[in-house]
Amino acid sequence: MSYTGADLIADALAQLGVEHVFGIVSIHNMPMLDAINRLGKTKIINVRHEQAGTHAADGYARATGKLGVMIASTGPGTSNTVTGLYEAQYGSSRVMVITGQAETAFYGKGLSYVHEAENQVPMLATVCRRVESPRHINQLGRAFDAVINDIFTGRGAPGALEIPIDLQYAEADPIEISLPNTADDQANAKQIEAAVDKINSSSRRVIVAGGGVIAAGAVDELQALAQKLDCPVLTTVDGRGVLPEDHELCVGNYYNSAGMYHAIGGADLTIAIGTKFAVGVDGQFQKQTPPGDLLQIDIDGNMIGRTHTAHVGVLADAKVALSAINASLTDTTPNDGQFNQVVWEAREGVHKAMRDRLGSDWPRVMDAIRAKLPRDGVFVRDQTISAYNWANQQFPIYAPRTSINPTSGAIGPGFPMSIGAAIATNRKTVVIHGDGGFMYHATELATAAQYNVPLIVCVFNDSGYGVLRWLQQHRFGRINETDLGKVAFTGMAHSMGVPAERVKSVAEFEAAFDTAMATDGPYLIDVDMEYFAAMEISIMPKQKVEVDLKA
């Protein structure tokens, strides 16, 4: 049998060390899936929807730092991937969608060729940094290489490759493919010198670490800098895990907390590394200027000074920049002890205040999960009341790439992202979900069952879109289309081969979680929030209301 374009794709993925791809079979991608299986070096995970598969590839990438891949069909299959690519773009995640296309003789002719999508490339370009569409078999290898090089050069971003079906069947020559070599990358010497001078001339420093630190594999370098400066480390939600959150220097994801922001107000230098300074809902954090001067380190020059004025900017990968800074810092004076003490006291005060707002039941639920999940277990959240109120800040994270959430604020990606993360790591993974968001991709329970994914799905069921319900009540004094009714998720799970149970108390939850941890494969826990003590929601500054789900 001759070596084809489809074989080229299968071989290229294997050369990159891609162990799993997500996909849905179609007439326009069958050659690629067949070639992958014949080669036998990459396993195909057959998902139930292309959006979910793209989210799963995203979770796979975030949990490992490797390439996440979704193989889709042209037209409707590819349009389904766009939402997943949107989230991957928002989260700077290295995801690749490979899709088919009408054969070259019919492409763009308007002859109603099945799944014809002549504007597929511009559609994908709205959510990808690089999209390629070869028109000859000799262009296929270069097109694949161009997308991969873009995905792994600079700030992470998704990319896409569409391959006409005739090119998948056409005879091809093998290619050699590899990731870009960044081993010799160096930071600008003058920028590093300016950064070191700024650090040495300050005495009340804080570090704000974002997802760019984790993406760069710069956790050790970040910790070395923090310890050298005796400096508090605050994280963004995507930067959680840069330090274990029981480390003495780790403040955690509290930068946007009013109490913490007040405590660090006396800082004379903010060292921001790999963060966009997201402005939040309604632009609520845009005016929250980093205290003191801003030293901003980012691999993307567009980010430096974009949200806040940077007094010193270092354009470099976080690992490269921090290595150079650490090597140049000698005899540096540690942080002012009184300043640090104010921050530590604020850390304890903010943590206690937020915990107290959770009521009597939810802290116990959170503590039970943390106590039973290993330190390197992966913890995924969807956008839901439980994530906003305790999972994004209060639940301790101990290692990089063990904390995953939809960066874009979308409802629904959590479950498929957790499937990808669990498959990637083969470690016990927990996903925290609301019932409304879970319904977006509930059919992926069948995927979890088919591949015996080590996943615990906790559906916090308040019979609706809880966050939006709260926002409506607060802003309009009424709710609109946010009540969904109580779904029997246990029956749904059982119908797809996933063991499940509904719980109505903390004790029942703890027992169910023990069972789930001991289960070889997926397990769903339907948490009926009607029977749990009310918690106070506090999503926006100076806006809070107590939610009683029994009412």
- Over residues 114-154, the pLDDT tens digits come to 777 789 999 999 999 999 999 999 999 999 999 999 999 99
Burial 371-393 (b: 16+ CB within 10 A, else e): ebbeeebbbbbbbbbbbbbbbbb
User: Hey, what CATH class is 189-344 in?
Assistant: alpha beta
Q: Fill in the DSSP letter of residue 445.
A: H
Comparing 36-45, 254-263, 417-426, 529-538, the range with the smallest average pLDDT is: 529-538
Q: Fill in the DSSP letter of residue 99.
A: E
pLDDT in tens, 238-258: 999 999 999 999 999 999 888
- In 454-538, alpha helices (H): 466-476, 489-495, 506-518
User: Hey, what CATH class is 5-169 in?
Assistant: alpha beta
Domain map of the chain by residue range?
5-169, 189-344, 357-547
pLDDT in tens, 324-351: 999 999 889 999 999 999 999 999 999 9
Mean pLDDT (the chain) is 92
Question: How many CA atoms are closer than 13 Å to the CA of 288, on its beta-carbon side?
Answer: 18
pLDDT in tens, 68-115: 999 999 999 999 999 999 999 999 999 999 999 988 887 877 767 777
Query: Does the model's pTM come out above 0.85?
Result: yes
Q: Fill in the DSSP letter of residue 308.
A: S
Per cent of the chain over pLDDT 90 is 82
Tell me what pLDDT residue 543 has: 41
d(CA 280, CA 348): 24
The number of angstroms, rounded, from the C-alpha of 16 to the middle of its chain's C-alpha atoms is: 22
Determine the CATH number of domain 357-547.
3.40.50.970
Beta strand extents in 343-443 (DSSP E only): 378-381, 403-404, 429-434
540 has pLDDT over 50 = no
What's the whole-number mean pLDDT along residues 294-321?
95
CB 414 within 8 A of CB 431: yes
β-pair partners for 503: 527
Which residue, 215, 216, 234, is CA-closest to 290? Answer: 234
Tell me what pLDDT residue 538 has: 63
Element (H, E) at 233: strand 233-235
Q: Residue 350 is encoded by which pair of tokens?
A: 């903010």
